[in-house]
Every structure is written in C-alpha cells, then in structure tokens.
Chain A
Amino acid sequence: MTRVLPPGTKELSAPDALIVAPGIATPGRASPRGPLRREGPAKLTGVAKYADDLVFPGAWYGATIRSTEPHATLLGIELDDAFDWSQVVVVTAADIPGDNVVSLIRDDQPILVPIGGEIRHQAEALCLIAAADRGTLRSAKRHVEVRTQRLPAVFDPLESTEEFSHLEVGQGDLEAGFAEAELVVEGTYRVGHQEQLYIENQAMIAVPHAEDGMTVYGSCQCPYYIHRALKRSLQLTDAQAVVVQAETGGGFGGKEEYPSMIALHAALLARKLGKPVRMIYDRHEDLSATTKRHPAVIHHRTGVMRDGRLVAQEIDVVMDGGAYCTLTPVVLSRGVLHAGGPYRCPNVRIKGRAMATNTPPNGAFRGFGAPQTEFAAEMQVNRIAEALGISALELRRRWAYREGDTTPTGQVLRESVAALDVLEAAADASDFARHSEQTRRAREARQSSARVASGIGLAMGWHGAGFTGSGEVHIAGVASVELTDEGGIRVLSAQTEMGQGTKTIFPQLVAAELGIEEDAVEVAPQDTSIVPDSGPTVASRTAMVVGGLIVKAARRLRSQVEAATDRPFADSYREFALEHGGLRVDERFEPYPNVQFDDATYTGDAYPAFGWACAVARVEVDLDTGEVTVRDVVSADDAGRIIHPVLAEGQVEGGTLQAIGYATIEEIKLVDGRYLNDRLATYLIPSALDAPHLEAILVEKPFSGAPHGAKGIGELPMDVGAPAVVAAIHDATGIWIHDLPATAERILAALTGAPTPAAPGVSAPAPKRGAA
C-alpha cells in the first residue's frame, strides 16, 4: 500500500505502515517532495555565515597549549624570557573566575589543568594564548614550555579499574533459557573510534560586553549547553551570557558537548583581553582533540533451539569513555538498551560498563552507543542463522518484534512497531533472496584462482527516538509559536540547523496547523537571548519532541485567535495582531501518555517510541588485496510520519554512507594514547567514488503520542549499515570479521590465515626510548 497523509492530520489511528513513494503527487500535500530548504539559497551562494566567516573588527586569534603526554602531573608552565610577552595574552587555570569545570554530567573535566593538577590525556588543554595576528600567535606558542611528571597510563578499557558507569537490564530466567537451548553461540566483537568529520571544523568567537557579560558566536548543536557552561565558569547571570549559533557545517554529535570547551576557552581569553577572540580550530587540532565515537568490546552468548527459536541472550558491553566522563553514561545506557537488537527473547540479561582510559574523551556521535552494540547484535544473528541453516531474512522474520512484545526493560511495544515492514521493504527492493541464491552458487563454483568475490548482506535495527528514560521529563523543553505585533508568525526554539532540516520542517509543521503558507512562518535565530531552552539538538529528538511542542503551540495559538475573531486563523490573524497586539504561546514538554520509566530500577518505557531500519548491502571483495567495494545499499527506515521526504531521504543516505565508512575504512590508530592519523590525509572518509548507489525507502508507522505522528530519523540508518556490509563480506568470502572496521588488512589476514591485526580502538604503548 502506498499512501501518504498530509502533515498535521488531526486524527491518528496508527494505520498499517505506509511506504512513501518519493515524487508521487499526493492529495493534501502541496508538494510531495516538501518545500525547498529554507536556508538553501544562502548556502548555495556563499552568503550563509559560518563562524569563521564572521568579522569582528579588532578580534584577536586564540590558541590552546595542550598536553603531549597521556598521563602526567602538571608541574609548571614556563614562558620563555626571550619572547616579548607584552604582545600576547596568556590564560591559565588561575584566571578562571568560577568553577574550573566543563559543565556536563560529572564535574571531572577541567577547562584548563591547574598547576599541580593531573593531565589525563594527550591533547588536554593546559593554557591559552591570544595574539593580534597569527604570526605572533605561532611564535608565542613555540615559547611556552610545559613541565610535567609522567604517570603510568591505561589504554585498554578491559584493563582499566576506573569506571564511569555501569548498568544492567534483563527479563526472564537466563539460566533456564540456556538450559533449554539446543545450540549456544558465542562471539566477541570489537569496534574502534570514529570521527564525526563534519567538514566545518569547530569554531567559536567570544565577544565581551562593554559591561559584564559575554556573547559567544559559533558552530554548535546545543546553545544552552554552552550557556550553562559560561554562566558557571565565568560567573555570569542568565542575561550576561549569550550564545548565538552561527551557520553550522555539520555536527553528527561532534558539536554536542565539545563546543562548550572551546567557547569557554575563547571567553576566558576575551575576558582577560577585553576584545573579541576567535578560536577557530584547524583540521589537525579538531581531529587531535575533539571527541570520537566510543570504542567498545561486546560479548554475546545466545541460546537458540534447532527450529530457530531464540531462548536466551546474555550480552556484556564494555565501552571506552576516554579520560573524562563527558556523556559516556548516557551513551552506555543507549548502547545497552539497544544491544539485544529488535528481537523478542524471553530470557535476557545485558550488562554494560564504561571505563576510563588515558585517551582523549569520547562523546556523542550519531547513534550514540547503538551502532556499536547493534553491530554486535546483527553479527550474532547472522552467525546464528548460518549455524542453524536458516536464511538471515527468515530468521529475522521469526524473531522481529511485533506489537505487544516486551523489551528487556519490560517495555511493552504497544504501537508503531515496523520491524517486519522495514525488513520486507528492504528485502523486496534489494531482491535479497534471489541475489543470495546467486552469490551462494558463485561461491560454490569459485575456483581458487578467483580474484574477486561478490556478496550480499542484511541487517536490521531499531533506535529509540528522543532522550533515554526520563530524559525528556528532566529537560522539560519549551518551544513557542508567536504572532508578532506586526502580524508575522515565528517559531522560537533552541533547535539548531546543521543540515538536517530544522529550519525547513518547523515552518512546515506550523503552517499546516495554522492553515497558512510555509513562507509566512519565520524561524527565530538560535540565540539564547531570544529563544527558549527547548533542549539540545541531539538524540533524533528535534522532529518528534520539539516538532510536537510547536504543533501543540500552533494549535493553541490558532484556537485563541479564532475564538477572538470567530473567523479562520488564516483570514484573521494579521487583523487580530493589529487590534490586540502580538500573542505568544509557550509549550512545555509533557510526558507522552502511558510512557513511564523508573530511573532507579531501569525498567519501563526506555523510549516513547522506536524507529526501525533494515539495510541490505552488496559488496565486491578483492581476494588478492582484501579491499572491499560496496556496490549498493538499500536502507528501509521507519521514522513515523514523514514530514519532508527529500530531507528524510537525505538523512538516510548520509547516515548510511557514514555507516559504510565505519564498516570499511574509518579507523583511528593510537600510539601512547595519541591519535596517529590526525589529518584528513590520513583519516579517510568515503568520497563520491567510494560511495555506493544508495536507495532510501521511507516507511511510515506513525507514533500516536506525537501530535504529528513523527519519530526520529537522524540516527536510525547509522545503526544498520555496518553489520549489513560485514555480512555481505562474509557472504562473498566465507570469513567473519569480528572487528570494525573491516579493513583490507583484517580481511586479508582472515583470508590468508595471517596474524589478526591489533584490536581497534586500543592504543599501542609509547615507543621505547633509544629504539631505532
């Protein structure tokens, strides 16, 4: 069935999944492809202002002096007398007026390491310098000497004794499940770091106010995170700290928490100097110092019956948080909650712990813990399918969640479950069964002299939309729709545009509710002095959670105006504003009906709703070199009601390619806790030639808790691409690659029986002194 309902449809009866056929005209929707990207013309003409494009006359350039050791005591910072220090400003920890901490979950990460303090990773910030020009700044940097006393370093999370967090979820009787099982399959899977690699490097510019106060302009996902950090460490009031998002050239989680650090650095320099300070990272600094996806080691033990029934799942997840906590407990929790995959199992126990190592802190990256654990889960399902002699597609048909099933936290999936829908959509579109048969025959007929092998692989997944557990209740985000005094309509929220389409879909949602043109709806700038705190732009929450708030706000605005004018909103709002003045409706988050979570026991509704995805990848493996070419990928994704098909497809296509990079080439190697490939010449991401043909299929299974039926889409495709590619490599070659990425080196080692390359994500020790 192909059916599309217009956005803002009042009554939702959670119909059968709808598959959107892009480009097909649909009654009720002005344009089936959605309005054009709101800020598109500015981006296409070079007019859009990213942080580094902003000009502040008299601004100085800032730089960060960093550690070059993974673990040490900071004994002193010496400024060379040979340099004229009157031409620069230097900031150390002693210059911080408030708390020396980057405000986040735990107060462990300093803004700058104080003298006598502990350096916990390479690239840790020790002091700051600013100069009027870049040349002076470069020479000043060369004249700063840092004295340290080295301490022993820990690089392997399995050897670490320092834990950031742990948790356990489960249901049923695990022992009884394994006692009943006729076959037990075990596996250990390891994944390494991944860099977000937004093409715009991190950048912040701090501008001191004439009176007390500071405005920071920059590239970020979460203006209010920075606002809180500035208030606390610079001792500013709500009004004295102002954060303004510049046009942001990609985030993918990488601009969730690290921008707070850079903003604090720029602001501390600007405060001491009394002039604006630009803190613009180059690619090398960005790669060396900012957060990456958490490496993880995931062990599975699964009990099944010969007829294919799943009876027991025991999963152990260990994540490497790096040197500081950042968002690690939340990443771990999302990883653990998704670790079983979208499959019903009566007896489950999933344990997770996040450990500290002396490597730069890991943080948010699209998928937020789930791509790691779902890679392991899908590897395990594919290996079990092979062991049982049941096709990977058929086994998933039997195991996939249906409405009414219960997850390991005891969450009953009451509605909006599209696991089977995405599975069948992807299998159909890719002709999975026929291609599997072809690759099987080719494999059996293959001569030992063959140079290339083709394979097809399938993986499915799920992704909880919005914050985990009670997160949305704690955030209590507020978003607003305003009828201005002049008769304009504008949306006010802190949700940032970083390419995903916030500025296009919000006017769409409001316009549909008010019965007016999209172009008549303005989006207020993401400036903390103007917009309310609607929460961070993370966790695939913008369209579902904040989109829901603005739909409700728009409905209230409409009814208030219509009650006063007794005419349709569209015909009367301008007149209303002229007569009565403006009217602003603030909408605060209220828990979704029947969604409850107990933080203490970690039971209940872990997410208000889940999105569902299935990817099928076809690859070619060069049997001489181990090199993989991903030919095409079909990804079917259910994100509830689709607001804008073109933008949604863009999310699926882009997320899928990031997952392919994760699967095949994106790996960070470390020595002595330092990233070795810290340049774009050495950290590779897929180019247009590496990218396969991508087909995005949008499946719509609306969520009734959101007034517009939307769930999140941004992270979903990231969960399924990598295991699909590795399954395809197995289909081609017969080898299982347990470690991500499945690089040519790992594949060749498995093909030839050569020693397995080092595990991903774990640093080699420092080279011995005096070694040749």
Chain B
Amino acid sequence: MSYRFFVNDDPVELEVPGMRRLLDALREDLALTGTKEGCGEGECGACSVLVDGAVVDACLVPVCQVEGSRIRTVEGLGSEAELSDLQAAFLETGGTQCGICTPGMLMAAEAFLSSGGAVGDDAIREAIAGNLCRCTGYTKIVDAIALSAKRRRLAELGTG
C-alpha cells in the first residue's frame, strides 16, 4: 500500500505495510531520527510527535492511520543555528540533560503552548505527564516551558 501525508510541511509518499509503526516510518524510511524510541508501548513519550496538532506516541500509531495528516516532529522546530523559542528556553534553563526524552518533551510542550490554555505549574506538569525524564527531576523542564510561555505572551502583547 501507498500512504501520503505531510511531515514538517513536506509531502511524503511511502510504500509500506499499513501497520508499520509511524515511529519506524519516520526514523527508518524518512531518516528523521530525532524522534526516539524508549519503550515501544506508549509509556515513556520519547516518540511523541504531533499529528494534526495532537500529541501522539509514534510507537502506537500505524502509518495507515495518518493518511492525509500533517505530522510535526522535532526536526520541524528550529535548527541548531536558529533554535525555536521553546528550544532556546530549554537550553537556557537546563531543561535538557541526556537529551533522549527532549524531542518528545518538546513536542508535548509545543502542543500545550499552541493550545493557548492557562499556563501554570500544574497545567504544565499535566501537559508533559506522558513524557518521562529520568535526568532532570522535571524542575528545569517545567521552568523552560513556563519561560517560553511568558515570552510568547510578551511577544503577543508587543505586536498586539
């Protein structure tokens, strides 16, 4: 079968079995290895990507389910030379240590920030509850997301 969808705004067409995990399609067929595998059963969130704006575990989603969808991965945020505001906030606060949970954490945080809901410690923790981190104790990750939220609000005020 052939499946068509968009990854980071680029159209892709894959000739793969429909039950192939989106995670494998991204990492192996499209060479987008920024998305990580931590458990393969939807517990750790290391493979979190956005499908039409919603956070999903790419290890639990078969390719046949994303036909026509718009997928966003960590490669769709900023680049090393030009980090996105969220990535920059993680770097400044110390929100990334070993880095293996980071791409998934960023995608969950990006979905949360884009949703425009209330931003507070509890809401941020709720938003990343499906993404496990073993290094940081989460403090600096929460700080990073809060910092990014604050900057986005300031930017909106500045332009509004």
A interface vs B, CB < 8 Å? 36-37, 39-50, 52-53, 55, 196-201, 247-252, 282-283, 498-501, 646-647, 649-650, 653-658, 679-681, 685, 687-689, 691, 693-694
Contacts and interface: CB of A to CB of B under 8 A. Distances in A.
B36 A50 contact: yes
Contact of B32 (A42, A46, A200, A252): A46
Contacts of A250: 97-98, 100, 134-135
> Interface size class for chain B?
35 or more
12 contacts: A37-B91, A43-B98, A44-B90, A44-B99, A45-B77, A199-B133, A283-B44, A650-B97, A653-B139, A657-B137, A689-B125, A694-B139
Contact of B96 (A40, A52, A689): A40
B2 to A, nearest CB: 21
B109 to A, nearest CB: 11
Contacts of B132: 199, 680, 685, 687
Contacts of A49: 33
B87 interface: yes
B18 interface: no
B7 interface: no
Interface in B65-104: 73-75, 77-80, 83, 87, 90-94, 96-103
Contacts of A48: 99
Contact of A46 (B75, B128, B134, B136): B75
Contacts of B125: 688-689, 691
B13 interface: no
Contacts of A646: 93-94, 140
B14 interface: no
Contact of B78 (A40, A45, A653, A679): A45
Contact of A689 (B75, B87, B126): B126
Given A647-B94, A680-B39, A43 B33 contact: no
Nearest to B46: A199
Top-9 shortest CB links A-B: A46-B34, A249-B100, A499-B98, A43-B99, A499-B97, A653-B137, A657-B137, A53-B33, A680-B43
A199 B133 CA distance: 7
B57 to A, nearest CB: 12
Given A37-B94, A44-B102, A45-B75, A685 B129 contact: no
A718 to B, nearest CB: 12
B149 to A, nearest CB: 15
A619 B132 CA distance: 22
B35 A46 contact: yes
A55 B29 CA distance: 12
A739 B98 CA distance: 31
Contact of B138 (A53, A249, A251, A688): A688
A498 B134 CA distance: 12
Given A36-B91, A44-B91, A47-B80, A52 B100 contact: no
Given A45-B83, A680-B43, A654 B135 contact: yes
Contact of B38 (A201, A252, A501, A687): A201
Contacts of B142: 688
A46 B97 contact: no
B80 A42 contact: yes
A239 to B, nearest CB: 31
B102 A43 contact: yes
Contacts of B93: 646
B136 A198 contact: no
A275 B99 CA distance: 30
Nearest to B77: A45
B43 A657 contact: no
A45 B97 contact: no
Contacts of B32: 46
Given A650-B140, A681-B43, A691-B137, A499 B38 contact: no
B53 interface: no
Chain B interface helix/strand/loop/mixed: loop
A649 B133 CA distance: 16
A694 B138 CA distance: 9
B130 to A, nearest CB: 8
B141 interface: yes
Contacts of A647: 94
The residue among B75, B90, B133, B134 with the most chain A CB atoms within 10 A of its own CB is B134
A41 B135 contact: no
Contacts of B39: 283, 679-681
B36 A249 contact: yes
A199 B142 CA distance: 18
A37 B94 CA distance: 8
A685 B134 contact: yes
The residue among A500, A657, A688 with the most chain B CB atoms within 10 A of its own CB is A688
Contacts of B103: 46
A685 B38 CA distance: 13
B40 interface: yes
A646 B94 CA distance: 6
B33 A46 contact: yes
B41 interface: yes
B96 A44 contact: yes
Contacts of A201: 37-38
A689 B37 contact: no
Given A41-B83, A694-B139, A681 B77 contact: no
Contacts of A691: 125, 137-139
B116 to A, nearest CB: 20
A498 B74 CA distance: 20
B48 interface: no
A41 B100 CA distance: 13
Nearest to A43: B99
Contacts of B43: 679-681
Contacts of B102: 43-44
Contact of B100 (A199, A658, A679): A199
Contacts of A650: 94, 97, 135-137, 140
A37 B80 CA distance: 13
B131 interface: yes
A680 B33 contact: no
A198 B129 contact: no
B22 interface: no
B83 A44 contact: yes
Given A37-B94, A44-B90, A250-B134, 18 more contacts: A43-B99, A43-B102, A44-B78, A44-B83, A46-B74, A53-B27, A200-B100, A247-B99, A248-B98, A249-B101, A250-B97, A250-B100, A251-B98, A650-B135, A653-B140, A654-B136, A680-B44, A691-B138
B46 to A, nearest CB: 6
Contacts of A39: 99
A45 B87 contact: yes
The residue among B34, B92, B138 with the most chain A CB atoms within 10 A of its own CB is B138
Contacts of B35: 46
A623 B110 CA distance: 38
B106 interface: yes
A685 B45 CA distance: 13
Contacts of A40: 90-91, 96, 99
Given A46-B35, A653-B140, A283 B41 contact: yes
B92 A36 contact: yes
A51 to B, nearest CB: 11
A359 B10 CA distance: 50
A199 B98 contact: yes
B80 to A, nearest CB: 4
Interface string B124-160: 1110111111111111111000000000000000000
